[in-house]
Structure 1
Amino acid sequence: MQRNSRMLRTRDSSPLTRSPIYETPSLTDLQQLLWLRGGSDNHVDQVWPNIYVGDAWAARSKATLQSLKITHILNAADGPYNIDTGAKYYADLQIEYYGIEAFDDPAFDLSVFFYDAANFIRKALNSSGGKVFVHCAMGVSRSATLVLAFLMIHENMTLVDALKTVSTHRNICPNMGFLSQLRDLDIKLNEERKKTKASATTGP
Structure 2
Amino acid sequence: MEGEDKGSYEAPPTCTLLDVLLKNRRPTGAVNQVWPRLYLSNTCNPKSNQTNNGLTHLILHVMNLPGYYGDTGVAYLGVEADDSKDFDISQFFSETAEFIHTALTQNGVVLVHCARGISRSAALVLAFLMIKRGLSLMEAVETVRKHRNILPNVGFLNQLRKLDSQLHRRTEGH
Q: How many Å apart are 1:24 and its aligned residue?
A: 1.5
Q: Could you tell me which of 111, 114, 117 is aligned with 1:133?
A: 111
Deviations 1:84-125 (A, max 9, x none): x33321222200010011010000000011000100000110
Q: Could you tell me which of 35, 43, 47 is aligned with 1:62?
A: 47
Task: Tell whether 2:82 aligns with 1:103.
Answer: yes
Task: Tell whether 2:76 aligns with 1:89.
Answer: no
Q: How many Å apart are 1:66 and its aligned residue?
A: 6.6
Q: Structure 1 pair 25/134, CA: closer, same or farther in 2 (3 Å)?
A: same
Q: Tell me, yes or no, if the aligned pair for 1:140 and 1:174 is still in contact at 8 Å.
A: yes
Task: Tell whether 2:97 aligns with 1:78.
Answer: no
Q: TM-score with structure 2 length normalisation?
A: 0.89
Instruction: Provide the C-alpha distance between the structure 2 equivalents of 1:108 and 1:61, rounded to a whole number of angstroms.
Output: 27
Deviations 1:21-40 (A, max 9, x none): 66421111111110125464
Aligned to 2:168: 190
Instruction: Provide the C-alpha distance between the structure 1 equivalents of 2:50 and 2:110, rounded to a whole number of angstroms.
Output: 10
Structure in which a larger fraction of residues adopt helix: 1
Q: TM-score with structure 1 length normalisation?
A: 0.77
Q: Tell me, yes or no, if the aligned pair for 1:86 and 1:99 is still in contact at 8 Å.
A: no
Instruction: Provide the C-alpha distance between the structure 2 equivalents of 1:69 and 1:188, rounded to a whole number of angstroms.
Output: 35
List structure 1 runs of 4+ shifted beyond 6 angstroms. none
Q: Structure 1 pair 87/39, CA: closer, same or farther in 2 (3 Å)?
A: farther
Q: Tell me, yes or no, if the aligned pair for 1:78 and 1:86 is still in contact at 8 Å.
A: no
Instruction: Provide the C-alpha distance between the structure 1 equivalents of 2:40 and 2:51, rounded to a whole number of angstroms.
Output: 15
Aligned to 1:116: 95
Q: Could you tell me which of 25, 32, 40 is aligned with 2:12?
A: 25
Provide the alpha-carbon RMSD of the alignment. 1.7
Instruction: Provide the C-alpha distance between the structure 2 equivalents of 1:66 and 1:53, rounded to a whole number of angstroms.
Output: 10
Deviations 1:127-182 (A, max 9, x none): 1x300000011100000000000000000000000000001100000000000000
Q: Tell me, yes or no, if the aligned pair for 2:87 and 2:155 is still in contact at 8 Å.
A: yes
Q: How many Å apart are 1:41 and its aligned residue?
A: 2.4
Q: Tell me, yes or no, if the aligned pair for 1:37 and 1:167 is still in contact at 8 Å.
A: no
- Structure 1: gaps spanning 5 or more residues: 1-20, 80-84, 197-204
Instruction: Provide the C-alpha distance between the structure 1 equivalents of 2:27 and 2:98, rounded to a whole number of angstroms.
Output: 26
Aligned to 2:153: 175
- Structure 2: gaps spanning 5 or more residues: 1-5
